């Protein structure tokens, strides 16, 4: 058990160091978020945005940021031809959870950065239930990480990886996006925890179902 936890930590820190050296994902996501929000500010300068529209725009940016930065976990191993070494030295369980934790941390940072940029650039954005919003943002990050990790493993050996990643991710993420937009809108409008409870349960159930299923099938995907 301890050895497995050490391998999970090793894989997580390996990916973290690789990203720190290259900064590809961080640079691409930062540029995408700033460019997207700047374009939205100029295109909606004379309009008053509703909470629903704010929520939709935020989730669109979160989705495409995930498509930009969260696909590299397993793709990087294939591009650098290190996947075989990883298979020899680590069990599939360690590989899956190491990549999942890395994607989760990356998604949390990415989504909180997107939210902060929204707060900076949009004066009309008021979140009346900030606690509920932060919980939803955290659950959204978990959901995005749990879906993109296994999809990244599936497409890592395919050609046209980037376009295939988005095509496969979108239908899987639709339930998360729909519920997430609705719940985020409620926090902007000041809905209490009781009103958010059903949405929170769905967001928790999404990751609670997807992570065990991904874990079960990952052995077959990884050894293929």
- pLDDT score of 135: 94
Chain segment 118-145, per-residue pLDDT in tens: 888 887 778 889 999 999 999 999 999 9
Segment 84-110 mean pLDDT: 86
Residue 216, C-beta contacts closer than 8 angstroms, at least 6 positions apart: none
- pLDDT score of 31: 87
DSSP labels for 56-69? Answer: HHHHHHHHHHHHHH
> Does the structure show a pLDDT above 70 at 212?
yes
% pLDDT > 90, the chain: 34
What pTM was computed for the model? 0.89
**Tokens representing residue 137 in the block:** 């943002």
Which residue reads 């979108």 in tokens? 170
- pLDDT score of 161: 58
Chain segment 152-211, per-residue pLDDT in tens: 888 876 655 566 788 888 899 999 999 999 999 999 988 888 889 999 999 999 999 999
Q: Give 94's pLDDT tier (boundaries 50, 70, 90).
A: confident
DSSP state of 123: T
- pLDDT score of 5: 80
Q: Considering Cα of 168, then 51, then 31, then 203, what sign does the dihedral take? A: negative
């Amino acid at each position: 058990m301890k050895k497995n936890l050490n391998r999970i930590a090793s894989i997580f820190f390996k990916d973290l160091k690789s990203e720190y050296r290259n900064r590809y994902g961080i640079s691409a996501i930062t540029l995408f978020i700033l460019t997207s929000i700047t374009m939205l500010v100029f295109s909606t300068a004379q309009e008053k945005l509703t909470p629903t529209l704010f929520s939709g725009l935020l989730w669109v940016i979160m989705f495409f940021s995930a498509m930009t930065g969260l696909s590299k976990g397993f793709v990087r191993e294939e591009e650098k031809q290190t996947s075989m070494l990883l298979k020899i030295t680590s069990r599939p369980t360690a590989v899956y959870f190491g990549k999942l934790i890395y994607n989760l941390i990356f998604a949390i940072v990415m989504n909180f950065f997107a939210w902060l940029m929204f707060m900076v650039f949009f004066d009309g954005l008021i979140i009346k239930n900030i606690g509920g919003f932060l919980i939803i943002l955290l659950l959204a990050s978990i959901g995005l990480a749990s879906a993109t990790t296994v999809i990244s493993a599936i497409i890592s050996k395919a050609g046209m990886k980037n376009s295939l990643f988005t095509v496969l991710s979108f239908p899987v993420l639709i339930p998360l996006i729909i519920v997430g937009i609705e719940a985020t809108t409620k926090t902007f409008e000041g809905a209490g925890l009781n009103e958010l409870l059903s949405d929170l349960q769905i967001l928790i159930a999404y990751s609670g179902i997807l992570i065990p299923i991904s874990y079960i099938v990952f052995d077959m995907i990884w050894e293929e």
